[in-house]
Amino acid sequence: MLLDAIVEQVIRAISGGIDTADSRFDGSYIEDKIHEYRILQLIASYNGTRYQAKSRFIHYSYYQNFDISRIERVQDVNVNYVKFPCPSPANISDKVDGLTFVGNRSKNYSWSKIQSPEQVSQLVKLGLMDTNDIGYFYDGQFLRLYGNLDLENVHVEGVFQNPLDVPDFNPETDNYPMPDDAIPMMIEMMKRMEFNQMVQTVPDYIADGADTVTNATLRNNKR
């Protein structure tokens, strides 16, 4: 399903089918919320909730993949890694993040994830980085690749915080990366956690200076 169609579904679900002049539910705002709740819905299904058993499975539809080529001007000097720009991955559980495959371009060999800069130091001291193994660490903007300074290309597959940040993703032609059957659950979650309260609150069109209605009256919905 395309992103626009999901936005439309969400707006209709929360406004009850009534077209209002209320600008709280405009498209770009709802799009941002869909990116957030897509990940929250995945976390709920992967780890389980009070009402849902954990699945420990990331549905294929969530994945996006792309190749990154080396860019010389972003490289740091006198360091033992090479950098590749990468969008921010989702955080799914304590040991699983959105980067499910970082490896060579032929997509048959993945490299090992490094959890923190401190772990690099540990690995060097333990001699685990002396072999031909390549490790990667995501620093918030770039993938740092340790173990081979001559790397030219990296293939990445994973789940990303904002699917629109992924290179070559076109929201007008590409399906939004989540399974269709998870969309109703995501909308329910959005309504429950966010929009119910907003829908129930009456819009305030009167400037505060000219408003004679007290907060107590507002709270009791007695305008």
The least distance separating another protein from the CB of residue 16, rounded to whole angstroms, comes to 39
Closer to another protein by CB, 130 or 211: give it.
Answer: 130
Contacts of residue 102, defined as CB under 8 A and 6 or more positions apart, other chains included, come to 110, 111, 113, 136, 143, 154, 155, 156, 158
The least distance separating another protein from the CB of residue 101, rounded to whole angstroms, comes to 8
Question: Three-state secondary structure along 126-186?
Answer: HCCCCCCCCEEEECCCEEEEECCCCCCEEEEEECECCHHHCCCCCCCCCCCCCCHHHHHHH
C-alpha dihedral, 164 to 166 to 167 to 173, nearest 10°: -50
The least distance separating another protein from the CB of residue 218, rounded to whole angstroms, comes to 48
Closer to another protein by CB, 8 or 139: give it.
Answer: 139
Rg of the chain on CA atoms, in Å:
23
Distance between CA atoms of 143 and 75, rounded to whole angstroms? 11
Closer to another protein by CB, 40 or 199: give it.
Answer: 40
The least distance separating another protein from the CB of residue 82, rounded to whole angstroms, comes to 18
Closer to another protein by CB, 133 or 165: give it.
Answer: 133
Closer to another protein by CB, 58 or 154: give it.
Answer: 58
**Where does this chain bind another protein (CB under 8 A)?**
56, 58, 92, 95-97, 100, 102, 110-115, 119, 123, 125-128, 130-133, 135
The least distance separating another protein from the CB of residue 3, rounded to whole angstroms, comes to 25
Closer to another protein by CB, 1 or 128: give it.
Answer: 128
The least distance separating another protein from the CB of residue 188, rounded to whole angstroms, comes to 25
**Cα distances (angstroms) measured from residue 68 to each of 104, 105, 129, 149, 152:** 10, 9, 23, 15, 9
